[in-house]
Structure 1
Amino acid sequence: MATKLYPPLKPYKSELLPVSDLHKISVKQFGNAQGQPVLFVHGGPGGGCDARDAQRFDPAQYRAILVDQRGSGDSLPHAELTDNTTWHLVDDFEKVREHLGIEKWHVFGGSWGSTLSLAYAQKHPECVRSLTLRGIFTLRRAELDYFYNGPGTNFIFPEYWDEYIAVIPEAERGDMIAAYYKRLTSDDAAVRAEAGRAWSRWEMATSRLHVNKDYLDRADDAEFADAFARIEAHYFVNAGFFERDGYLLERAQIDRIRHIPCVIVQGAYDMVCPPKTAWDLHKAWPEAKYIVVPAAGHSAMEEGTERALIEAADEFAKLP
């Protein structure tokens, strides 16, 4: 069983799949074209995929499918919010599955990717062979407040919090998400760029147990920061487009997926998506295997978390 990333590889097929009159989504396939299909669901919203994400899957066993969600990564149009909701993305995955002629696939997602993986599996349980979920996020208001409004992560990273709130006038700080959303959708390019960098830098700073300068510097990539911050704020100000707070954890929703083999991987010191949400999911779904990585924060790239994810993928490759 592998305990580190598989070697780098290039996609054997890349395409832009039209999913509406407006949106085309990037679909890249890696590994064995005859292998077990696995859908990689990236985070954010707005994060996009990286070829490194395919290295968690044994290329001899898996056909890894990396999809950039609407407005993200290589999908077009870039950072577009029109017709960009959770349920549009869920429907897009179904269009990808049907386009590729796949009957059932494994689904693997972390952070917002765990949110979207749960939403997809609950709507289409018959299409999912397994779920691997990391850094659980269900977009409840309390989760958003903990990270974006405080008190919460600001008590752990006060210097980066001060950078994050500096962009917003004191009178608007009662709802930081709404205040940022106003700026991230501004017609003023300079206002939008300043807000995009500050929002992204806050998340990059807090995503690992030890602050990583290279990761922090991603916020200086204006194109990435614009899509990442703008799409995140769009989803968060709209409560994820869910019918009710806590929708994904409701008994009726969990019962739809209870039979699916699942591994939950959670960093013990995750400051972006704190362990309480993963624990709440495990309590609602005790059949799922629950792994807490002791010396890890939120990022999938921390050593213990990476190892647990690769081991989960290797185990699911053995399913009949």
Structure 2
Amino acid sequence: MEQLRGLYPPLAAYDSGWLDTGDGHRIYWELSGNPQGKPALFLHGGPGGGISPSHRQLFDPQRYNVLLFDQRGCGRSKPHASLENNTTWHLVDDIERLRQMVGIDQWLVLGGSWGATLALAYAQTYPQQVSEMVLRGVFTLRQQELNWYYQDGASHIFPDKWAQVLSILSAEERKDVIAAYRQRLTSSDRQIQLEAAKLWSLWEGETVTLLPSSTAATFGEDEFALAFARIENHYFTHQGFLTSDDQLLKNVPLIRHIPAVIIHGRYDMVCRLQNAWDLAQAWPEAQLQIVEGAGHSTNEPGIQHHVILATDHFAGK
């Protein structure tokens, strides 16, 4: 059997700060690795998930200079769980401001799940700024993808866990779960918000890995759940603020020249393998790596292995 690659050793950020967007948000960012290394950008999932120290460890610290940031409203960015001026295109603008702040021309972009969505949106807007792409757990925000995970699909694989999501909804509300949760997550009553946020967030935390994980409980922590659920639901209510259901697939010709690796778990229940397959069909130059025995999370050993192989490859190792 192939020896699986593990994370690089833990390391601290060598610089960090906040970017004032000028429209009410302060974006937390950090740089890690080698200041003279190959520039790279890490995009976290959710939207609303935030970065963690382990994300730094997906890159060789001797060869990469990596920027990570908490997207609007989550992690250490302020204001917490804010939906104001918080759209895909605000985030794309934030990324470009951060690139200019660091003072580099091009960077490798790595994104997983919603991070892959945002990576596609950014690259299609600024293709000249992206040197390579690593996309994990592909999510293109089509209505069929939202229906699968929040209406009728994954619910058949996890009926016991889906029952918890439905537990606070009336029979009528269950016809449109995203809309019903929108009402609660934007309520003026914090307790109503929090009850809905924990149920929404734990649904993902408990289905994101192939096998049950002890990390699922963190999805139910108050502050994380509020940002994660409110921001995700906000984006999904608005179909990611895209102009068409297939915008990200339709615009693949804008980025086909960019070297790319697409990594997807065979048994990903959050984002079906079909998503990655459809992207690869539109982008034949990209390398599609289907990971057997893996679900959705970067923490899946096989997923982690292939992500690190990809970053090593693009570092010239």
TM-score scaled by structure 1?
Answer: 0.97
Q: Is the 8 A contact 1:135 1:273 kept in 2?
A: yes
Question: Is 1:303 the equivalent of 2:301?
Answer: yes
Q: Is the 8 A contact 1:40 1:67 kept in 2?
A: yes
- Give the letter aligned to residue 243 of structure 2: E
Partner of 1:234: 234
Partner of 2:244: 244
How much does 1:279 deviate? 0.3
How much does 1:2 deviate? 8.4
Partner of 2:195: 194
Instruction: Report the Cα distance in structure 1 between the residues aligned to 2:182 and 2:97, rounded to whole angstroms.
Output: 30
Point out where structure 1 has 5 or more consecutive residues left out of the alignment: none
Counterpart selection for 2:87 from 48, 66, 85: 85
- Report Cα offsets for 1:26-85 as digits up to 9, x if no partner: 111111011011100000000000011010100000011101110011101111100000
Greater mean alpha carbon deviation, residues 27-36 or residues 215-224: 215-224
Partner of 2:217: 217
Partner of 2:145: 143
Instruction: Report the Cα distance in structure 2 between the residues aligned to 1:195 and 1:53, rounded to whole angstroms.
Output: 28
Instruction: Report the Cα distance in structure 2 between the residues aligned to 1:25 and 1:300, rounded to whole angstroms.
Output: 23
Q: Is the 8 A contact 2:23 2:85 kept in 1?
A: no
- Report Cα offsets for 1:206-260 as digits up to 9, x if no partner: 1010011x2221132100000000000000000000000011001xx11110000
Matches within 5 A, 1:1-320: 3-150=5-152, 152-212=153-213, 214-250=214-250, 253-318=251-316
- Report Cα offsets for 1:147-191 as digits up to 9, x if no partner: 0011x1011111101011102122111110010011001111111
Q: Is the 8 A contact 2:14 2:31 kept in 1?
A: yes
SS at match of 1:177: helix
Q: Is the 8 A contact 2:4 2:301 kept in 1?
A: no
Q: How many corresponding residue pairs?
A: 315
Q: Is the 8 A contact 1:2 1:311 kept in 2?
A: no
Q: Percent identity?
A: 50
SS at match of 2:172: helix
Q: Is the 8 A contact 2:50 2:71 kept in 1?
A: yes
Q: Is the 8 A contact 2:4 2:302 kept in 1?
A: no
Q: Structure 1's 7 and 67: CA in aligned 2 closer, same or farther, altered over 3 A? A: same
Instruction: Report the Cα distance in structure 2 between the residues aligned to 1:104 and 1:145, rounded to whole angstroms.
Output: 36
How much does 1:21 deviate? 3.2
TM-score scaled by structure 2?
Answer: 0.98
Runs ≥4 residues deviating over 6 A = none
Point out where structure 2 has 5 or more consecutive residues left out of the alignment: none
How much does 1:19 deviate? 1.2
Instruction: Report the Cα distance in structure 2 between the residues aligned to 1:99 and 1:85, rounded to whole angstroms.
Output: 21
SS at match of 2:39: strand
SS at match of 2:258: coil
Instruction: Report the Cα distance in structure 1 between the residues aligned to 2:53 and 2:68, rounded to whole angstroms.
Output: 8
SS at match of 1:72: coil
Instruction: Report the Cα distance in structure 2 between the residues aligned to 1:131 and 1:217, rounded to whole angstroms.
Output: 31
Greater mean alpha carbon deviation, residues 170-179 or residues 305-314: 170-179
SS at match of 2:50: coil
Instruction: Report the Cα distance in structure 2 between the residues aligned to 1:304 and 1:29, rounded to whole angstroms.
Output: 26
- Give the letter aligned to residue 175 of structure 2: G
- Report Cα offsets for 1:260-305 as digits up to 9, x if no partner: 0000000000000000010000000011000000000000101000
Instruction: Report the Cα distance in structure 2 between the residues aligned to 1:81 and 1:39, rounded to whole angstroms.
Output: 24
Instruction: Report the Cα distance in structure 2 between the residues aligned to 1:207 and 1:237, rounded to whole angstroms.
Output: 21
Instruction: Report the Cα distance in structure 1 between the residues aligned to 2:42 and 2:220, rounded to whole angstroms.
Output: 26
